[in-house]
Structure 1
Amino acid sequence: MNAVKYDTLSDVNERLVELGLNKISPAQAAEIQKAAPKARLVQALREASSNTGAMNFLRRLIPANQGAQNAPRQSPAASQNAPQRRQNHNPPAQAQREHQPPAGNRQHAQGPSQPQGEKRGDKDYTSHHVYGGKAALTWSADETRNGEPTIRLEGAKAVGERQYDWSSKIAVQFTRDELTCAVATLTGALPKMEGKNHGVGDQTGKGFEIVDQGKNFFVKVFAPNAGVCAVPMTPEDAFTVTSIILKQMRKGKPWLSGQDLIMLAARTVGRMKK
């Protein structure tokens, strides 16, 4: 096993050359560390020879950085002589509609003017609402106290027609194992999964359940003294929810693709928990 710590740029570049990749400059190294934690980069450097996912991770990271670094600069004279493009501050109505949240029983819940999947600062606000007659759910990208990417599932009871009491919501943060089981359930490898024993103190016993009912999924979130928020979830909603879960899992395992995660969840957790 490669035991090099890759503490110096010289060690990193020597390894990149061994892997058939280009060397990087100090400025490029600084940009790469902004895009990926050093521990992940070091792990990928060590495993790239025998791990396709790790190699693909380096290929995505290194060439993209170099391409931006080596892009030709435009001279001031050329910039002044270049034709100015008019900015359209009033986009057509059709383009505006394409950026609006979907109507009906499903909609993406972003902050004001916040497209799905985008970040504001260091916080990822990707989320998705699922509405039911008696309750509603929100699936959101989140982080644990240790900074590990995960999912927060929140449920609120209906207090009127399409009105929900989010001030009394039940919130559950997925553990690492629950993320894998959720993917296995939502992609058909498991018939159901349950996350138990969340919460502390008087909230001990919070949890959630996802059940594959064939034509749709049934999801419920529960907590002591708060009852149950139960909502049917369509395959279309499940598609978006699964994509958000996979996005979070890939942040912690960037050398794996979404397809890799689905396959591993099916062949390990799905196969042995049935």
Structure 2
Amino acid sequence: MQAAHAEVEAYGRKAKCFGRNAALTVESTPLLLQGAVSGSTVNLELARRSGDGYDWKSKLVIQLSEDELAALACVLLGFLPRYHFKRPGKGIEIERQPEKLFVRGTAGAGNIYTLPLPPGRVFAVSTLVIGRLQEHFETRDTQVVLASLRGAAALLRN
């Protein structure tokens, strides 16, 4: 598995992971509500392997809502075992497994994307997501963010 560091590009900070069968990009982006910017979030982008590269033209993209951004952080930090981000005809599930996170995406019949995220990539994605939560909720107090995520995870587990 190849890993790329979180990086700054024209469309925002990104964390990337490249697996044998698919690649994941988690990209910082403005949260759009009814076409208007309403804070910060991330896009989850999955692309399947194609030859020596990845088919980014046919990627699966899901922009996370405010609630989903918090749910992703809960999984990344170990407060939740898994979460499924669902959209009509597609979805991405992220699940904690021993020594890694496992990402599984589906888009229509037969379009399946899978890859593991090792600890270093989980760290890179976690810092990006926590940063977006802090920006979205206008707080730099990490302890408030962590306590809020623990409380949200307790509700999501029930």
Per the normalisation by structure 2, the TM-score is 0.87
Question: Aligned pairs, how many?
Answer: 153
Larger radius of gyration: 1
- The question of 1:108 aligning with 2:108 is answered no
The whole-number CA distance in structure 1 between the counterparts of 2:143 and 2:18 is 28
Whichever structure has more strand as a proportion of its residues is: 2
Q: Distance in 1 between matches of 2:135 and 2:16?
A: 22
In terms of fraction of residues, the more helix-rich structure is: 1
The residue correspondences of 1:241-252 to structure 2 (distance < 5 A) are 241-252=125-136
Give distance in 2, aligned partners of 1:259 and 1:153.
Answer: 26
1:215 aligns with 2:99: yes
Structure 1 SS opposite 2:149: helix
Report the Cα offset of residue 226 of structure 1. 6.0
Superposed CA offset, 1:116-156 (max 9, x none):
347x5xxx510011111011111100113321211001111
Q: Write out per-residue CA displacement over residues 152-204 of structure 1, whole angstroms, 9 at most, x where no aligned residue.
A: 0111111124x1111111111011111111111111111111111x2xxxxx2
Q: Which runs of 5+ in 2 are unaligned?
A: none
Structure 1, unpaired ranges of 5+? 1-103, 110-115, 199-203
Name the amino acid aligned to 2:84: E
Which structure ranks higher in relative contact order (CA pairs < 8 Å, sequence separation ≥ 6)?
2
Letter in 2 for 1:108: H
- 2:18 aligned partner, one-letter code: Y
Task: Tell me which of 141, 152, 157 is aligned to 1:269.
Answer: 152
Matched, 1:158 2:158: no
Per-residue deviation at 1:221? Answer: 2.2
Distance 1:159 1:108, change over 3 A: same
- RMSD over aligned Cα, in angstroms? 1.9
Question: CA separation in 2, counterparts of 1:226 and 1:149?
Answer: 32
- The CA deviation string for residues 229-248 of structure 1, in whole angstroms up to 9 with x for no partner, is 11100111011101111111
The runs of at least 4 consecutive aligned structure 1 residues that moved more than 4 Å come to none
Secondary structure of 2:126's partner?
A: helix
Query: What amino acid is aligned across from residue 252 of structure 1 in structure 2?
Result: H
- Structure 1 CA distance for aligned equivalents of residues 143 and 103 of structure 2: 24
Equivalent position amino acid for 1:138 in 2:
T
TM-score by length of 1: 0.52
